[in-house]
Amino acid sequence: MCLRKLMGVSRLDRIRNTTIRKTLDMEFTILDRISTKRLRYFGHIQRMPPSCFPKLALEAHIHGKRPSGRPPKRWSDCLKADCSKVNISPSVEASRLAQDRRKWQDIMKQMAPLNPKLE
């Protein structure tokens, strides 16, 4: 909606969001930005000592069953989808690659078409 306001168009004008992004020279969506930030934070957590709370929370296993129906997405579910975008397995391979900061930064640069300005 914000991009539409910038362009001065409404939904009634029937202009697609992709056309609006191309007009404004935006190569990425907010979802691409979120997935990049999520992967960067995952790498940060993986390099923490094992006694830190974020790492303990990430590696914790909660016993029990999830409710029936379509349960809400968990952070780990989103992380698996993000890892599949850069063709790495989210469990062992991502954890191993994240230990080396330079390799992990190179993986983040692979997402450059999704997010041209990595801060």
The string of pLDDT tens digits covering residues 32-71 is 888 889 999 999 999 999 899 998 888 888 888 888 898 8
Q: Does 15 reside within a domain?
A: no
Q: pLDDT tens digit string along 55-111?
A: 888 888 888 888 889 888 888 889 999 888 888 887 788 888 989 999 888 888 877
Residue 9 region by backbone torsions, left for phi larger than 0, else alpha for psi between -120 and 50, else beta:
beta
Q: What is the pLDDT of residue 4?
A: 85
Q: What is the pLDDT of residue 117?
A: 47
Q: What is the pLDDT of residue 119?
A: 41
Alpha-carbon dihedral 35, 41, 46, 48, rounded to 10 degrees: 180
Q: Does 89 reside within a domain?
A: yes
Among candidate residues 43, 49, 55, the one with its CA nearest the CA of residue 104: 43
Q: Does 68 reside within a domain?
A: no
Q: How many domains does the chain have?
A: 1
Q: Does 96 reside within a domain?
A: yes
Q: Give the integer Cα–Cα distance in Å for 34 and 85.
A: 13
Q: Does 101 reside within a domain?
A: yes
In the predicted structure, residue 28 carries a pLDDT above the cut 70: yes
Full-model pTM: 0.74
**What is the enclosing helix (H) or strand (E) of 23?**
helix 17-23
Q: What is the pLDDT of residue 112?
A: 59
Q: Does 95 reside within a domain?
A: yes
Other C-beta atoms lying within 10 Å of the C-beta of residue 56: 12
Q: What is the pLDDT of residue 45?
A: 93
Averaged pLDDT score across all residues of the chain = 84
Q: Which domain holds residue 85?
A: 30-59+73-110
Q: Give the integer Cα–Cα distance in Å for 90 and 95.
A: 7
Q: Does 3 reside within a domain?
A: no
Q: What is the pLDDT of residue 114?
A: 47
Q: What is the pLDDT of residue 113?
A: 55
Q: Does 115 reside within a domain?
A: no
